[in-house]
Copies of this chain bind each other. A is one copy, B any other.
Amino acid sequence: MSLRFGLLGLLTYCPMAGYDLKKIFEDSVNYFWSAQTSQIYRELKLLESSGHVTSVVEPGSAGPNKRVYSITESGRQELRAWLLDTEADIQEDNKNEFLLKVFLSSNIGPQELMGLLEKRLEKYKKDLDRLLSSQSKVAEYKDRFDVERELLFWKISMNRGFHDIQSHIRWAEESIEFLKSLGFSSSQ
């Protein structure tokens, strides 16, 4: 859906190749957005054919040539229009495979569910660690690009990550306690 806007947004920092964009996706936006390289290259072509970015081929610093993309003025306009459009994102769907499992867990029973929840709790705690380490990468980006102005917005979006993970942890712990209070014990 909005991969194109993610790409346009990152290109406002500086011109980049598809490969660079993939990298930045991985260690900045990764908590709330992701994309395959194949998808990124396809999308960049579409953006170029609609005039929102332009590209030039540059000799690669290491290895093959790079196709470096720059955002155009029409691209910036597109981006701003999307950012200000409050209708588009208001009914985004919240698909959560794990919750679907919990909902259908009568098919495996409370003990097995407890096992799933305990495993999940571990995952959430790892997520928290990963988020903390990706925070330290922000400092790195601060040096690589000139992003004084961006820092504020990065902080606010990363902070959402903490709220999110903490609420997951609290819910999982609460649910495990609830099952225990009903006399069930883990299958692990």
The residues of A with any CB-CB pair to B shorter than 8 Å are: 1-2, 5-6, 9, 12, 28-29, 31-34, 76, 79-80, 82-84, 86, 88-90, 92-108, 110, 112-113, 116, 119, 123, 149-150, 152-154, 156-157, 159-160, 163-164, 166-168, 170-171, 174-175, 178, 182
The interface centre, meaning the residue of A86, A100, A154 with most chain B CB atoms within 10 A of its CB, is A100
Specify how many copies of this chain sit in the oligomer: 2
> Which residues on B sit within 8 Å (CB–CB) of A175?
156, 159
B108 & A80 in contact (Cβ 8 Å cutoff)? yes
Q: In chain B, what residue has the closest Cβ to A76?
A: B107
B84 & A112 in contact (Cβ 8 Å cutoff)? yes
A160 & B99 in contact (Cβ 8 Å cutoff)? yes
The interface centre, meaning the residue of A123, A152, A156 with most chain B CB atoms within 10 A of its CB, is A156
> Which residues on B sit within 8 Å (CB–CB) of A5?
100, 104
Q: Which of B1, B107, B178 contacts A97 (CB 8 A)?
A: B1
Q: How many angstroms between the C-alpha atoms of A175 and B160 in the bound complex?
A: 9
Residue pairs across A and B with Cβ atoms less than 8 A apart, 25 shown, are: A1-B97, A6-B100, A6-B104, A12-B104, A28-B103, A31-B99, A32-B103, A33-B96, A34-B95, A76-B107, A79-B104, A83-B104, A83-B107, A83-B116, A84-B112, A86-B116, A102-B156, A102-B160, A104-B153, A113-B156, A156-B175, A156-B178, A160-B171, A164-B167, A166-B167
